[in-house]
Structure 1
Amino acid sequence: MSARTAPRSTGSGPPTRKGVATRQRIVEGAAREIREAGVFALRLEDVMARTATSKSQLFHYFPGGKDELLLAVARFEAARVLDDQQPELGALTSREAWLRWRDKVLARYRAQGVDCPLHVALSQPGTATGAGRTVATELLGQWRRQLAAGIRHLRDGGAIAAGLDAEREAAALLAGIQGGVLILMTTGSTDHLEAALDSGLARLGLTED
């Protein structure tokens, strides 16, 4: 079961299908509240109203209250970052596939604009802890591994330079993307993100002629 859907254990046995669905409804409802109103305006009462859940239900799944819910939203949004890049991210086996992935990443962040629910959730005091860092580390680790797998596939097949270090190139590309996203959140412009993507693909020898 993924981090997106796994409910918190309450010590009363495995979660039921209904319990999983209820918890997921609360998480997704809170995520929509954050996108629409911002995290600082997030109230548990609004989440309960949006998701048709009671206070006892919300605290059953999130006994830590708002901080615990924000962390669950962060995990949900982290999973969406990778899901929104599929199937291209998981099949970077050709130059064309890399270019389609590049276009999908740009389209995602252009549509998102300056609002990044994942960044907002992780930046809050309740999640800016070891748990919050774990969410970010998991996301970046999974993202880097899939990029590295694509680089290795092309390198081992002779499509790109044999001497490229797949892990290091994936890390550099990912760092460029994240830098571009942070600038986007500050300025509203995707120019730096586009430049980072194009420079990374050029280094791999994958840019368009």
Structure 2
Amino acid sequence: MRARFQMVRIGWQRVSFLWKASGKPGNTSLSLSHKSIKVSTNLDEDLLMFVALPFLIFYASFSLLLGIYDARTGLLPDRFTCPLLWGGLLYHQICLPERLPDALWGAIAGYGGFALIYWGYRLRYQKEGLGYGDVKYLAALGAWHCWETLPLLVFLAAMLACGRFGVALLVRGKSALINPLPFGPWLAVAGFITGWKVFFPDG
């Protein structure tokens, strides 16, 4: 998605250059043509944002819901994670079709990566070290953020979770080791952070 913003930015710079050139004497027909290009570019951007906005609201709402639900119950239900995953793929199919393969591989990588951790830990220690809801949630995040963003997203979530655990350990001591720390809220926060950097790269 970052590449798409770069393409829009480069295209806008070219249109601006042609617009300035059209203001020179003798460039009347060129001026009309480039004004049409500028209007068309603005309409395309407005239409894309109009179509994408409901998807982004859907993503933000479900991620916030999953983060809060996991923090309160320790669960990430399929009735929330599955629609989020399919919503991410549908978003790319409609708004960014050239990125759909990356979104699909993001879902596969998210699910496969966390599933390996889940089963590896369970076979080694005979207990769960990671909830299977986290596996499905990362698959959904992969469908939205695409595969290349997942390493940064997981790293941020892990750092946030470690920071939260460190604070709990300092405050409550060894009693903090009794209750497992939900990972879903930190995946949600990391998703918002990486998503912000994608949509607002200069922010």
TM exceeding 0.5: no
RCO greater where, 1 or 2, for CA within 8 Å and sep 6 or more?
Answer: 2
The structure with the larger Rg is: 2
Higher helix proportion, which one?
A: 2
- Please, what TM-score do these two structures have when normalized by structure 2? 0.29
